[in-house]
Structure 1
Amino acid sequence: MSEVTQICSDLIRFDTTNPGSGERPAAEHVATLLSEAGIEPVVFESARHRTSVVARIPGDSSDALLIHGHLDVVPAHAPDWRVHPFSGEVLGGCVWGRGAVDMKGTLAMTLTLVREWARRGVRPGRDVVLAFLADEEATGEYGARYAVRHHRELFDGCTEAISESGGYSVEAPGARIYPVAVGERGTAWMRLTATGVAGHGSRPPADNAVAELCHAMSRIASHRWPVRLTPEVATLIESLSDILGERIDLDRLEEEAERLGRVGSLFGAQIRNSANPTMLQAGYKVNVVPGTAVGHVDGRFLPGGREEFLETIDRLLGPRVRREFVNLEDAPSAPMDSPFFERLGAALVAEDPAARPVPYVMSGGTDAKSFAGLGIRGYGFAPLMLTPELDYFGMFHGVDERVPVEGLEFGVRVLDRLLTSPAASAGHSTDPG
């Protein structure tokens, strides 16, 4: 079994479900792997067992690159899986389990690489800061946010960062497309509260909080958000048109995304804002009208779209429903016209001549939002070659999550090229723009 396979399998066996008992055992394991390679880890907790690990590897330039990932995972219901989600079993050429893709496989690639460097005596082209963080699958309050607030000095000199949700292969006729994320949608998780008059369920409705909230939630769910093409998504669509050798109709983008399947999924959720009702809480007895009803909505907005998003939400809610934020984070972005973006693509092409790197905007969110507050430009780049039958997006938070062994080994080679090539210590942007 290759080292990256073993490390990935071992990490999956740590049940770091969020919410759960915390990340500490997995973090201690990571710290041990780093220490064995002569890398001194900094281990800290934001709360009991909410543990993160950060380490710095000196390079030829003190200008640093941050590689960050999260130790926690979302819950998994074992009876729904073909293998136990925390078994880390290697089956059919894949490592199975919760976190294989999101994102213990990526952590395994990073750990394998730096341990290889230690054995080979390799020095990277620039300082590399490694961060293995808690709590990304919630708000990051116990992980990246805590690290940025209380351990900011660990990230001194970092100008760019790479992390999850980019650099994976998407099969297309005659080519493999590799989306490299240059941004992500902003996050607006909201708690909605409606108040009314409590009373007997048999009386004529007067001021029903449940009904008021349901009407507001229905307006949100049925709202059709207008298409807004950001420059990054426009460039992505143009690049896909060139690769596919066919025109993508900008007036029918929703239909085009569906027609193109997995290729279309690269822009289908990134052409508009979204708001999805996710939770409802009200009442305690069928014949009692409660005085309060509460709901939650997962809102996401495009870069530059926060004001329009919130104005629309307030109009849809109406005056009777109060909103408050569970989590509000702006949409970060990084330059796609930059030497660093070019090097990300070149590292992929060097290992896969059929690779066609394209810029991409993530529909969800990552810890890049926290590091953007330090002026660190974040890119989604966790290189992974997938077999055609594997649905990358379907495995995120899905059942039977798994990652190909050959894909992990590919990722280690790509990261090695990126971080040790002569260009790695030259030509990176220092413009805080």
Structure 2
Amino acid sequence: MNRNPVELAQALIRFDTSNPPGNEAACVAYVNGLLTQVGIETTLLARSPQRPNLIARLPGEGRALPLLLYGHLDVVPTTNQLWSHPPFEGVIEDGYLWGRGALDMKGGVAMMLAAFLRAKDEGLRPAGDILFALLSDEEGGGDDGAKFLVEQHPEHFAGVRHAIGEFGGFTLHLGGQRFYPIQVVEKQVCWMKIRVSGPAGHGSLPMRGGAMAKVARLLQQVEQHRLPVHVTAPARTMIEGMAASLPLATRQLLRQLLIPTMT
């Protein structure tokens, strides 16, 4: 059976799981077949038949809490995009794997899958269970994926305190040093609803001072306004940690990011 993460990534890319609509079922079935073939316990859970989620478990010795590996199989659409290589063929050229999802995140899923299969092959008995979850609908909000599992099937994640998921960034090169940042938080969304009124008009005879004109002026003000900078504790810890390993001049420059008025 295939254990090569590159070849696994190629196979996953060849499933068109563009979201919308997703249709991750065939891709999930492929992975499920690889896992069950070697005797790994799996569970399929779905809110919609064509959008299943998979949870696999590698039993441990029960001396530690479970560790969760998770990733998603859906990808963003390729409609009206110009690709130098077909997005769903998994072509390797010039040392690179080309295809939709190579980075986000079928490449990562392939690495997790390869490691999971290898652990089973080698008879690994970790201190605690290792869970491997493959999700649908990450690109569309998670209603059929993570949200569905957390709300409807939380028992599958009982005891999990640590998880390795989607890769949140890339290496940083500063002052001759290489850093591997660790993501511990996510930005959140602040939705605002604004109601603007104005005189009624018609497309054939637009009114000056109408509601749309007011919205345009409002958007311009928002675009020109400098929002306040808040240095959070995780950001401060990361920047201070990086600065400590840099030459003096670079260190001082980096620490200016901690001064809101200079950021």
TM-score, normalization: structure 1? 0.54
Q: 1:31 to 1:203 in 2, by over 3 A?
A: closer
User: Which runs of 5 or more residues in structure 2 are unaligned?
Assistant: none
Instruction: Name the residue aligned to 1:86.
Output: 88
Instruction: Name the residue aligned to 1:71.
Output: 73
- In the aligned structure 1, how far is the partner of 2:34 from the partner of 2:211? 54
Which one-letter code corresponds to 1:247 in the other structure?
R
Matched, 1:219 2:221: yes
Matched-pair contact (CA < 8 Å) for 1:72–1:134: yes
Tell me by how many angstroms 1:109 deviates: 0.7
Which one-letter code corresponds to 1:153 in the other structure?
E
Which one-letter code corresponds to 1:39 in the other structure?
I
- In the aligned structure 2, how far is the partner of 1:204 from the partner of 1:191? 23
Tell me by how many angstroms 1:20 deviates: 2.2
TM-score, normalization: structure 2? 0.86
Q: 1:40 to 1:210 in 2, by over 3 A?
A: same
Aligned positions of 1:19-418 closer than 5 A: 19-61=20-62, 63-77=65-79, 80-166=82-168, 168-189=170-191, 194=196, 196-200=198-202, 201-202=204-205, 204-205=207-208, 208-245=210-247, 246-249=250-253, 252-253=256-257
Matched-pair contact (CA < 8 Å) for 1:71–1:132: yes
- In the aligned structure 1, how far is the partner of 2:28 from the partner of 2:192? 31
- In the aligned structure 1, how far is the partner of 2:116 from the partner of 2:26? 21
The Cα offsets for residues 12-71 of structure 1, whole Å up to 9 and x where unpaired, read as 111111112421111111211211231121112222412211122211235111111111
- Comparing both chains, which one has the higher relative contact order based on Cα–Cα distances under 8 Å and sequence gaps of 6 or more? 1
- In the aligned structure 2, how far is the partner of 1:190 from the partner of 1:102? 29
Matched-pair contact (CA < 8 Å) for 2:71–2:166: yes
Which one-letter code corresponds to 1:152 in the other structure?
P
Tell me by how many angstroms 1:125 deviates: 2.7
- In the aligned structure 1, how far is the partner of 2:194 from the partner of 2:83? 34
Q: 1:117 to 1:251 in 2, by over 3 A?
A: closer
Q: 1:227 to 1:105 in 2, by over 3 A?
A: same
Q: Alignment RMSD, CA only?
A: 2.6
Tell me by how many angstroms 1:72 deviates: 0.9
Give secondary structure in 2 for the equivalent of 1:188.
Answer: coil
Give secondary structure in 1 for the equivalent of 2:189.
Answer: strand
Which one-letter code corresponds to 2:35 in the other structure?
L
Q: 1:165 to 1:203 in 2, by over 3 A?
A: closer
The Cα offsets for residues 260-283 of structure 1, whole Å up to 9 and x where unpaired, read as xxxxxxxxxxx7xxxxxxxxxxxx
- In the aligned structure 2, how far is the partner of 1:251 from the partner of 1:241? 7
Percentage identity across aligned positions? 37
Tell me by how many angstroms 1:170 deviates: 3.1
Q: 1:251 to 1:212 in 2, by over 3 A?
A: farther
Which one-letter code corresponds to 2:5 in the other structure?
V
Give secondary structure in 1 for the equivalent of 2:228.
Answer: coil
Tell me by how many angstroms 1:189 deviates: 5.0
Tell me by how many angstroms 1:174 deviates: 4.1
Instruction: Name the residue aligned to 1:13.
Output: 14
Q: 1:202 to 1:86 in 2, by over 3 A?
A: same
Greater strand share, structure number: 1
Matched-pair contact (CA < 8 Å) for 2:199–2:207: no
- In the aligned structure 2, how far is the partner of 1:194 from the partner of 1:68? 44
Matched-pair contact (CA < 8 Å) for 1:78–1:84: no
Give secondary structure in 2 for the equivalent of 1:100.
Answer: coil
